[in-house]
């Protein structure tokens, strides 16, 4: 975790999801994960739009009509590099991906952004399914 005098990243920070939130709402840990059918101990976010787009596009939805959304968020406490991508998949933290046990406050929603193509999304979904079948789709939470 960061210490009050240590700055991991200045942001801005993004959270991609299909959840409909309002400005001022808080995203909190200990809720159902966007990616696995389990309660997550952390809330995940990124400082890159590219990673946030994948978060929105791959998030589970309660209905097929759920809109992909990217929120600009403010961490309300300490946070750390996301160990699921940092050094395990990508040396360092090129995706600028983080997680926290403290809430994230929604400060804005991106009104428009260019999503990945359906082909790219389907390729990613197929890759993730293959990892699940191999028992490698583990999120260290």
**For the chain, what are the domain ranges?**
13-133
Distance separating alpha carbons of residues 30 and 68, to the nearest angstrom? 22
Instruction: Give tens-digit pLDDT for 48-106.
Output: 999 899 888 888 765 455 789 999 999 999 998 888 776 555 566 777 889 999 999 99
From 3.40.50.1360, 3.30.360.10, 3.90.79.10, 3.20.170.40, which CATH number describes the 13-133 domain? 3.20.170.40
Q: Count the residues in the chain.
A: 141
Cβ-proximal residues to 20 (8 Å cutoff; 6+ apart), any chain: 67, 69
Average pLDDT (15-28) is: 92
Instruction: Give tens-digit pLDDT for 104-128.
Output: 999 999 989 999 898 998 888 888 7
> The tokens 């983080």 sit on which residue?
98
> The tokens 């997550």 sit on which residue?
40
Token pair for residue 61?
């939805």
Distance separating alpha carbons of residues 58 and 77, to the nearest angstrom? 26
Q: Is the confidence at residue 4, as pLDDT, over 50? A: no
pLDDT top residue among 84 and 32:
84
Distance separating alpha carbons of residues 21 and 134, to the nearest angstrom? 35
Instruction: Determine if the peptide bond prior to 12 is cis (ω within 30°).
Output: yes
């Amino acid at each position: 975790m960061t210490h009050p005098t240590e700055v991991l990243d200045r942001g801005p920070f993004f959270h991609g999801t299909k959840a409909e939130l309002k400005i001022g709402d808080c995203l909190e840990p200990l809720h159902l994960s966007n990616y696995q059918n389990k309660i997550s101990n952390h809330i995940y976010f990124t400082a890159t739009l590219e990673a946030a787009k994948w978060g929105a596009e791959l998030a589970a939805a309660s209905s097929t009509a759920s809109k992909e959304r990217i929120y600009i968020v403010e961490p309300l406490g300490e946070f750390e590099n996301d160990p699921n991508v940092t050094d395990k998949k990508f040396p360092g933290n090129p995706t600028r991906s983080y997680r926290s046990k403290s809430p994230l406050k929604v400060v804005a929603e991106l009104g428009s952004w260019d999503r990945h193509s359906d082909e790219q999304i389907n390729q990613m979904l197929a890759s993730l399914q293959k990892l699940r079948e191999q028992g490698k789709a583990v999120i260290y939470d």
